[in-house]
Amino acid sequence: MIGNVAQKLSFKNLKGRSQVVAKNAIISLMFKGFSILLSFVFVPLYLSSVGQRQYGIILTITSVSNFISFFDVGIGNGLRSKLGKAIANNDKILARKYVSTSYFYVAIFFTCVFILYCIAASWIEWSKILNIPVNEIQNLNSWVFGVIAFFIIRFVIQLVGNVLMADQKSSLNDSIQFSTSLLTIIICLILKQINSLNFYTLLLTTCALPVLVLIIYSIILYSTKYKWLRPSFAYVDHSIRKDLLGLGLKFFLIQIVALTIFSTTNILIAQLFNIADVTTYNIAFKFYNITVMVFSILMSPLWGAFTNAWYQNDVKWITKNIKYYIGILLLFVLVNLIQYFIYPHFIHIWLKRELVIPGVLVVSFILYNFIFCYNDIFAHFLASIGQVNRQVYAAVAGGVLNIPITIYLAKNTHLGISAILFANIICLLPSTIVTTIQTIQLLKKGKI
């Protein structure tokens, strides 16, 4: 299998869909690779400017704000799947209707969410949520209000990324993140040079810049290459709302599970352990998550390609690529093991300080990375063709159990912050088993 992976990665004699996937993977790897390198520059820069505790507060606020993204009831992923099918069938009118209708309803949903937050804001005490003293951050509630406003705008305009992914242009989508990271580091370095990089300017920069970059990309893309897909009120079709929302609701339920398993991590650490542990966990996670990020980069071109292959009845191509990516995952497990031995030296060079990670945490990271990536292969295929019913049930079961299991492990074992990852692993297992079995069944039949 690994030999086949090496042959695949040579990208020789590739044609058609495989060539598109390969080109996107290479370019995405370049963009994401630079983004990863920049993210490692961020951490020491931020720590030296605001300290471990305030950086942990910023990480927690932004992770909480990500909660809002799930209120699009899965329309973004529904668009990605439906638009991919329309493009595969060369139905340009339907494709533009999907895009326009998605923007319309996502804008409505997030406007409603923002209004609800405005109503509830006066009863929310963010100092209690973050488990910090009331006076530690001045006007904390107002700053969080601004952060949420930026995130609301961001979640609407980032639909352009779903359009790019549906059209098998994942590398162009990845360039958005790279551009954002590059601009962020440049502005932060300038602010630090003039002694103006602090908690408030850092929070504003990290929240406002992604919005600015997405606006620029959207204007350029919808004025040139994707003019034929440009959102327009004239193409909003309420009759396909059910088509989008039906599939979107299933994605929404899966996203809610992702929220409980992933986005609540920093809050749970702050509540069960200490706000400073948020930074410790995220530094270790960033290091061991490199393989997951690279794997996700290689996976990103597959959604649109799987959709295209399925609706063109190319089951053989899908099967071959699933096997290739399992082989790549096995290579990445070896990389994680190697990371264990170089970690102390890397941290010393990177942060100029010692940061000890217990062996049990390392084991939990490696196991978590394997389960997450393995599940992603099969979930990617099923999502690309809109077959997520069984995954929804398994994911909801895991999501319901996640927080109770995390609390139990944290309070009744000596796992420490590793309890977070072991709980995630346990709750991902049902979905992993279900997606594997369903994919095998579908590929054997060769049809839905």
Whether pLDDT at 159 is above 60: yes
Measured over the CA atoms of residue 362, residue 367, residue 368 and residue 373, the dihedral's sign is positive
Measuring CA to CA, how many Å separate 340 from each of 96, 337, 355, 361, 421? Answer: 48, 5, 13, 11, 17
- Tokens 């009845």 correspond to 313
Cβ atoms within 10 Å, residue 334: 11
The DSSP element (H or E) to which 111 belongs, if any, is helix 92-120
Neighbours of 201 (CB within 10 A): 16
Q: CA-CA-CA-CA torsion for 92, 93, 95, 98, nearest 10 degrees?
A: 170
CA dist., res. 97 & res. 431, Å (int):
32
Q: How far apart are CA 129 and CA 267, in angstroms?
A: 8
Question: Cα 72 to chain center, whole Å?
Answer: 15
Three-class secondary structure of residue 436 per DSSP: helix
- Taking Cα atoms as reference points, which of 79, 401, 68, 59 lies closest to residue 255? 68
Mean local confidence (pLDDT), 417-436: 88
Rounded to an integer, what distance in angstroms lies between the CA atom of residue 213 and that of residue 192?
Answer: 22
pLDDT in tens, 330-357: 999 999 888 888 877 787 777 776 666 7
User: 276 pLDDT exceeds 80?
Assistant: no
From CA 400, how far away is CA 426, in angstroms rounded?
12
Q: What is the largest CA-CA distance in the chain?
A: 64
Lowest mean pLDDT among 35-39, 169-173, 397-401: 35-39
pLDDT of residue 16: 62
Displacement of CA 200 from its chain's centroid (Å): 25
| pLDDT for the residue 67 | 56
Residue 28's pLDDT is: 73
Range with lowest mean pLDDT among 55-59, 256-260, 322-326: 256-260
Question: Is pLDDT at 419 greater than 80 in this prediction?
Answer: yes
- Cα 447 to Cα 18, 153, 381, 387, 438, distances in angstroms: 21, 39, 13, 11, 12
**Is the confidence at residue 446, as pLDDT, over 70?**
no
DSSP state of 405: H
At residue 99, the pLDDT reads: 93
Asked if 182 and 209 touch (Cβ cutoff 8 Å), the reply is: no
pLDDT confidence of residue 6:
44
Burial profile 346-378: b = 16 or more Cβ within 10 angstroms, e = fewer: ebeebeeeeeebeebbbebbbbbbbbbbbbbbb
Predicted pLDDT at 146: 87
pLDDT in tens, 104-115: 988 988 888 889
Average pLDDT over residues 148-166: 88
- One-letter amino acid at 411 equals K
In 3D, which of 356, 365, 388 has the Cα closest to residue 251?
388
- CA distance linking residue 90 with residue 84, whole number of Å: 10
> What's the pLDDT score for residue 192?
87
Predicted TM-score (pTM) of this structure: 0.67
Q: What is the mean pLDDT of residues 117-138?
A: 81
Query: In this structure, how many other beta carbons lie within 10 angstroms of the beta carbon of residue 22?
Result: 18
- Give the pLDDT confidence of 222-265 residue by residue, as tens digits: 999 999 999 999 999 888 877 777 766 677 677 767 766 666 77
Per-residue pLDDT at 19 exceeds 80: no
Whether the predicted pLDDT of 196 surpasses 60: yes
Cα(420)–Cα(409) distance, integer angstroms: 8
CA distance 369 to 378: 15
Amino acid 335: pLDDT: 92
What integer pLDDT is reported at residue 2 of this predicted model? 43
Is 80 exceeded by the pLDDT of residue 447? no
